[in-house]
């Protein structure tokens, strides 16, 4: 599992063309030699992020979101759930404002 060298967060993303970026602390670093399947998957997540966030905001349901991720990104089930959790955490503030914060937290827990 790739982690941010600065803060240790596991929610590392690929920033085209050639960097990793940590959404938590903003640290970016070069992509060295690594698993190209993972990069491809992250690039697809990056491209479909807006769509996935819209889905999450409409209905913060991890099951549904993970299915959507699997569909759009082609990730396996375990990865799809991981990505779904990441999206839910990302939109948590907005969900709280909509009164869906509690539900989203439960979804993240059981996802």
Residue from 3, 16, 25, 76 binding Zn ion (CB under 5 A): 25
Examine residue 28 and tell whether it contacts Zn ion (CB under 5 A): no
Length of the chain: 111
Residue 27 near residue 4 (C-beta atoms within 8 A): yes
**Which CB sits closer to Zn ion, 29 or 57?**
29
Q: Which of residues 34-93 bind Zn ion (CB under 5 A)?
A: none
- State yes or no: residue 4 binds Zn ion (CB under 5 A): yes
Among 2, 13, 15, 27, binds Zn ion (CB under 5 A): 27
Distances (CA, A) of 6 to 3, 20, 32: 9, 12, 16
CA atoms within 13 A on the CB side of 95: 24
Is residue 5 near Zn ion by the rule CB under 5 A? no
Range in contact with Zn ion (rule: CB under 5 A) among 20-28, 42-50, 76-84, 86-94:
20-28
CA distances from 36 to 8, 14, 55 (A): 22, 11, 27
User: Interface residues with Zn ion (CB under 5 A)?
Assistant: 4, 6-7, 9, 22, 24-25, 27
């Amino acid at each position: 599992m790739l982690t941010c060298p600065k803060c240790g967060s596991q929610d590392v993303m690929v920033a085209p063309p050639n960097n990793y970026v940590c959404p938590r602390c903003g640290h970016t670093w070069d992509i060295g030699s690594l698993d190209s399947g993972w990069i491809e998957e992250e690039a697809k997540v990056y491209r479909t992020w807006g769509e996935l966030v819209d889905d999450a905001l409409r209905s913060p349901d991890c099951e549904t979101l993970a299915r959507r991720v699997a569909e759009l990104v082609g990730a396996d089930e375990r990865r799809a759930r991981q990505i779904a959790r990441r999206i839910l955490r990302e939109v948590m503030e907005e969900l709280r404002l909509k009164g869906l914060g509690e539900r989203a937290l439960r979804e993240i827990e059981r996802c």
